[in-house]
Amino acid sequence: MDCREFHESHLAFVDDTLAGVELVRMQMHLNECDACSRHDATIRRSLMLFRNLPRIEPSADFSKKLEMKLREVKLAEAAGNHRSNFGFKAGVTIASAVMLAYIGISLRQVDTPQDIVLPPVVATATTSEISTGGPGPEMIAAAPAGIPIWTAALFAEQTPSHFASIQLVSSTR
Amino acid sequence: MAIIARKQAVQQGANVREQLRQMDDSGVVTAFLGGEERAFSELVDRYQTRLLNFIYRTIGDREKAEDLVQEVFIRVYRHLHRFDRSKKFSTWAYTIASNLAKNELRNRSRNPLVLFQTVQKNWQEDDRPLQFEDSTSRPDDMYRKRHLREIVEESVAKLPEHHRNVFILRELEGKSYEEIAEITDCNLGTVKSRLNRARNSFAEIVAPYMD
């Protein structure tokens, strides 16, 4: 063991918390090294001086003073509890009143008839697909070409019919 | 009849106090929380001197130390219901005391008119604890011992606050490293390092006066 190691473990050495092997190594170093031995002795002696300092006792009126202070604390706490109880009761009363008022207003609103507002209906249709209801292009083309009317009407029946697609648009959009 | 009832009440009170004295801290705390007001007096009896010495050695002012110990007990009284009973009561009480002492030193550093050494020198002779001296000693011995005691006290005061705190908790109050770590809100490594430094510094200051 070298001196650095001795100093590092000295705290535990003084407090007697070293493991057996370590303790023996420390003691062996103490026997070999004068400087570390002196350091150890100085630390132990100074600690002994400190530990032997006289202990002071509380003054004679310590208990009386503390009792008075505690009485004040108890009174303050009792007053605080009273105040907080009063505050709690007031809070409950106010909350009840608010709740009753809200229920009353809600009931009145239920009794009075109201206009139902529905979302507007919007119809959209693509112009290209809207059927005009008049003669189709086949019929128009057939007339000057001399095709008899009944065949043109037949053609017209076969053409697909398109209606305006209706879409409901919500008012919220 | 009334006298007999009073005697019985006194006897009962004495029994309760005796029972409380037999309990450990945890039992006393439980009794207090269960409504036994006398349990608080038991806690005061157990800790007043220890806390007074701890605070006094930390701040160096006896009168202020007494005020702070009273403050510790008032805080204990007000907040005991919030105390985590899985922990040691003594650690909690010392934590409160340590924080109050720290605040006191902080306030004092803001107001440099009151210094540690000044406070100690302003003691009246009667206030000085005399146990360090042996009345059978020769006058020069008594002087030497008193002088040495003053030097020891001044040497402690010279330690940096966070070193002094750890040093007092360990050397005077005999707290374990773990307890000190909890009281000072530091990790174990910091406690050991501070204690080691405090011991070395203290020995260095006192050494010239020891021979």
Residue ranges of A 77-116 with Cβ closer than 8 A to chain B: 77
What per-residue confidence (pLDDT) applies to B127?
A: 45
CA-nearest residue to B193 within chain A is A11
Q: Print the SS3 string covering B12-73.
A: HHHHHHHHHHHCCHHHHHHHHHCCCCHHHHHHHHHHHHHHHHHHHHHHCCHHHHHHHHHHHH
Q: What single string gives the DSSP state of each residue in B118-173?
A: HHHHT--GGGS--TTS-TTS-HHHHHHHHHHHHHHHHHHHHS-HHHHHHHHHHHTT
pLDDT per residue, tens digit, chain B (211 aa), is: 667 777 776 677 778 788 888 888 999 999 999 888 889 999 999 999 999 999 999 998 899 999 999 999 999 999 998 888 888 999 999 999 999 999 998 887 776 555 454 444 444 444 444 345 555 556 666 666 777 888 888 889 889 998 999 999 999 999 999 999 999 999 999 999 999 999 999 999 988 887 6
A171 shares contact with chain B (CB less than 8 Å): no
> What does pLDDT average to over chain A?
76
The model's pLDDT over A60-81, given as tens digits with 9 standing for 90+, comes to: 999 999 999 988 888 887 777 6
Closest CA to B173 of B85, B52, B88, B69: B52
Residue contact A70–B207, C-beta within 8 A:
no
What per-residue confidence (pLDDT) applies to B124?
A: 45
Q: What is the pTM of this model?
A: 0.66
CA-nearest residue to A64 within chain B is B70
In this complex, the residue of A11, A42, A73 whose CB is nearest that of residue B74 is A73
Average pLDDT of A89-96? 80
Could you tell me the two tokens for A119? 């979302």
Residues of A within 8 A of B163 (CB-CB) are none
Whether the predicted pLDDT of A173 surpasses 90: no
How many Å lie between the alpha carbon of A55 and the closest alpha carbon of chain B? 6
Residues of A within 8 A of B202 (CB-CB) are 46-47, 50
Which ipTM did the prediction report? 0.76
Residue contact A46–B192, C-beta within 8 A:
no
What per-residue confidence (pLDDT) applies to A150?
A: 63
The rounded radius of gyration (Å) of the Cα atoms in chain B is: 20
Average pLDDT of A131-159? 59
CA-nearest residue to A49 within chain B is B152
What per-residue confidence (pLDDT) applies to B187?
A: 93
Residues of A within 8 A of B38 (CB-CB) are none
Whether the predicted pLDDT of A91 surpasses 60: yes
Average pLDDT of A89-98? 81
d(CA A171, CA A106): 25
